Chains A and B, each alone.
Chain A
Amino acid sequence: AQSVTQPDIHITVSEGASLELRCNYSYGATPYLFWYVQSPGQGLQLLLKYFSGDTLVQGIKGFEAEFKRSQSSFNLRKPSVHWSDAAEYFCAGDYKLSFGAGTTVTVRA
């Protein structure tokens, strides 16, 4: 089945440090790929999306992601993490949004 996977269940990062969240996909054609963030008890907020074109995608809140076909990856990055970035992050693919299992990000002071 076509899907996305997030290898990391939980990541802890220091405030001000860089963050990278991994996402791998298994679609045959060029997929639609998304990153969403979810704070506790809240809905999902779109950070960024990739449909085609430039493989480096800029999103909100200082996040970016790079689509790498050779590695079947769409990793999310942020150069300097803020305490407010602590949340659950979901990678999702295709138009019916097959979600990865999510990565919980904890930010330590």
Chain B
Amino acid sequence: DAMVIQNPRYQVTQFGKPVTLSCSQTLNHNVMYWYQQKSSQAPKLLFHYYDKDFNNEADTPDNFQSRRPNTSFCFLDIRSPGLGDAAMYLCATSREVGTSGRDQETQYFGPGTRLLVL
């Protein structure tokens, strides 16, 4: 089945130690998103890629970076994790079919990676 895969499901890192979360998709979607979801809160969009074009949300901290080496893979890099970065990180994909930015099809989510910072 076509799907969005996130590895690992659980990640433990140390305060200040760089960490990378990965996302892959078999849907061949051209848009990929990273969301941060803290406990009992709604997901918050960090950034998204439209093909190779990177789009950062205005309030995403510089500590968060992303790479998309090809259509199938997208990585979230946290350069110096703080205790406040402990959260669930969700990857999603969609197929954007138009040029207006509104012809967006549904976003499909992966299972998420729960990050713990010690």
Binding site for B on A (CB under 8 A): 32, 34, 36, 41-46, 49, 90, 95-97, 99-102
Q: Number of contacts between A and B (CB, 8 Å)? A: 50
Decide: B112 and A42 in contact? CB cutoff 8 A.
yes
11 contacts across the A-B interface (CB closer than 8 A) = A43-B90, A43-B109, A43-B111, A44-B90, A46-B107, A95-B94, A96-B45, A96-B48, A97-B43, A99-B42, A99-B44
Main secondary structure of the interface of B (DSSP, over half): strand
Decide: B109 and A45 in contact? CB cutoff 8 A.
yes
Decide: A32 and B102 in contact? CB cutoff 8 A.
yes
How many residues on B have C-beta within 8 angstroms of the other chain's C-beta atoms?
A: 26
Q: Interface readout for B29-52 with A: 1 if CB under 8 Å, 0 if not? A: 000010000001111110010000
Closest chain A residue to B103, Cβ basis: A95
Q: How far is the CA of A94 from the CA of B88 in the complex (A)?
A: 22
Q: Which residues of A contact B42 (CB under 8 A)?
A: 90, 99-102
Closest chain-A Cβ to B105's Cβ sits at a distance in Å of 9
Q: How far is the CA of A75 from the CA of B108 in the complex (A)?
A: 21
Closest chain-A Cβ to B6's Cβ sits at a distance in Å of 8
